[in-house]
Structure formats: C-alpha cells, structure tokens
Structure 1
Amino acid sequence: MRVHLGSDHAGLELKDHLTTWLVDHGHEVVDHGPFVYDALDDYPCFCLRAAEGVAADRQEGLDSLGVVIGGSGNGEQISANKVEGIRCALAWSEETAALAREHNDANVVSVGGRMHSVEEMTRFVEVFLTTPFSGDERHVRRIDQVATYDATKELPPLPESALRGPGSSTSDDPADA
C-alpha cells in the first residue's frame, strides 16, 4: 500500500522512524516533508500535501492512506480534513485508530508526536493501516450524510425520535423547546 506522510518539526522524529518501519513492512512511502528540523516550520505546508497525495491516488483508484504527525495531531488533522475527499481522524489509542477505519472509513490518520512514545504511535499507525472499513449500512449512511453536507451545506434531516417526547419540539430552534 502507498502511504503518504507529512509532519512538522514536532513530528519529524516519528515521521523518519515511520518511513523506515513502513518500507520494512512492504509499504511504498511518499514523504511530503519536512526533511530537516526547523522549529519554525508550518504543518499545513506538509500535511496538506500528504492529504492531497492520498486524495489524488484515490481519484486514480489506487489504494493509499496517509499519516500526518505534529505535536498534538490536532492542527494536522484539521489541515488534512480541508482536502476534498479526505477523512482524517486523530488517533490517541489503538481503539481510536481501529474505529477511525472501521466506522469512519478514514483515509488519513493524525497522531501527536509529543503525546505518546514512538512505539505507541507506530502501533496506532499499524492498527490504522491494517483495519478495514466495516461497510456497515449505518456507517455508510453517516459518511454519506457528512459528504452530502460538505457538497450542499444542507443539514441532514433530524430523526423522528429527536422531534417528539417530553419537552421536545419539532423546531431546530432551542428557544422553541
């Protein structure tokens, strides 16, 4: 599988480690940088490129995923999610890494280089890369709702259960409740 990597200075050590680890595990690595330590570098420069790489590969029908790495992983996740067709999840445990794939069909994972050991983060990435999307109807439906909103900016309809019951209202306005 092709794996696109991007980080900032806080994720550089893990990115360099992952490059070797991924190759040793049979993956093709596309490293979008950085390539040298610069405490003033900006994560969007690298993480947007990694996400763009995943999106372009998927447009061509290629099986690729991405990993973005920063101090906390938050900004890197936000950046990657700005790329059309990307669903980037922040993983802070093996369970969140697995659920990102199983339930959300995430195609990029973000990890925080200052939050965990290199060994823990490598395991999160491994779990992410090896966990398939479940394809369950409820997960497909939810992903479709987000994609539709992204394209149209129209909110999905509220479920009937949200519209009835004691103290509930049929309006989206909390003041009507």
Structure 2
Amino acid sequence: MKVAIGSDHTGIDYKYLIINYLIKKGHRIKDFGYSNYGEKVDYPDFIHPTAESVEKGEADFGIIICGSGNGAAMTANKYQKIRAALVWKKEIAFLAKRHNNANILSLPARFVDKKEVLEIVEMFIQTDFEGGRHKIRIEKIPIK
C-alpha cells in the first residue's frame, strides 16, 4: 500500500518509528512531515499536503501526527473526501475503519507511547470497512 504521512515537531519521533515499521511490512511511504529536530513548526503546513495526497488517490491512506491529534484531524477533515479519525487506542482505530471508513489516522503524540502507536497503526491497516448501514451514514457526511 501507499501511505502518506505528515507530522509537526511533536510527532517527528513517531513519524520515523511508523515509517520504519511500514517499510519493513512492504508499504511505500510518502513523507510530508517535518524532518528537523529543535524547531517548532505549524502542523497545517504538513497536514495539508498529506490530506491532499490521500484525497487525490496518490496514497491509499494517511497518517498524521501532532501533539493532541486534534489540530491535525481538524485540518485534514477540511477536505471533502477525507475522513480523519483521532485515535488514541487500537479499539478506536478498529471502529474508525470498520464503521467510519476513515482514510486518515490522526495520532496524539503526547498521549500514546511507542508500543501503542504501532498497535494502533497495525489495527488500522488490518481492519476492513464493514459497509452496509455504515456506508449510508458516511454518504450523509459531506455537505452537498
């Protein structure tokens, strides 16, 4: 799979952890995230290109990371075809994909540890969308 990933300065360690994990699993990565240590940056500058890549179909899904995960999710969800889910444990990742067909995983760097992050990512990747009644609900999300 092709995965777009973007993060601000608070997510840089997790970004590299996730990239290395996904590469070992055979996925291709497009890194839109911040890459230097020691400087504070604005998360929208890195989330916008990540969300655009997913919306255009250049990536199968995206992973975005900031301190709380909220700002990143809010930014990504401005795009019509994006369903970014703020996820802090694997059970939420399961439901975000299974019921909401989330196409971007938003992670809160300040509230999850490295083990949890990889479990969340793996759950998100392995879970399929259920469809059915959930598909009907998702079709009602965009403003027409």
Report the TM-score when normalising by structure 1.
0.78
Percent identity over the alignment is 40
Match of 1:11 in 2: 11
Mapped partners of 1:38, 1:51: distance in 2:
25
1:23 alignment counterpart: 23
SS at match of 1:139: helix
AA at the equivalent of 1:85:
K
Which blocks of at least 5 consecutive residues in structure 2 are unaligned?
Answer: none
1:130 and 2:130 equivalent? Answer: no
Question: What is the RMSD computed on CA atoms of the aligned residues?
Answer: 1.2
In the alignment, does 2:97 pair up with 1:101? yes
Looking at structure 1, the residues matched to 105 and 20 of structure 2 have their Cα atoms a distance apart, in angstroms, of: 18
The residue number in structure 1 matching 2:49 is 49
How many Å apart are 1:38 and its aligned residue? 4.5
Q: How does 1:32-47 map to 2 (within 5 A)?
A: 32-47=32-47
Per-residue CA deviations over 1:93-121 (Å, capped at 9, x if unaligned) read 11100100100011001011110111101
TM-score scaled by length of structure 2? 0.95
Gaps of 5+ in 1: 152-177
Contact 1:65 1:129 in 2 (8 A): no
The offset of 1:125, in angstroms, is 1.0
- Cα distance in 1 for residues equivalent to 2:125 and 2:39: 29
- 2:106, 2:57 → 1: CA distance? 19
1:70 is aligned to: 66
The answer on 1:114 being equivalent to 2:110 is yes
Instruction: Answer with 1 or 2: which has the greater Rg.
Output: 1
Question: Is residue 72–residue 113 contact of structure 1 (8 Å, CA) maintained in 2?
Answer: yes
Structure-2 residue corresponding to 1:143: 138
Deviations 1:109-144 (A, max 9, x none): 1011110111101110111111110012x1011111
| Separation (CA, whole Å) in 2 of partners of 1:76 and 1:27 | 22
Q: Distance in 2 between matches of 1:87 and 1:131?
A: 15
User: Higher relative contact order at CA 8 Å, sep ≥6: structure 1 or structure 2?
Assistant: 2
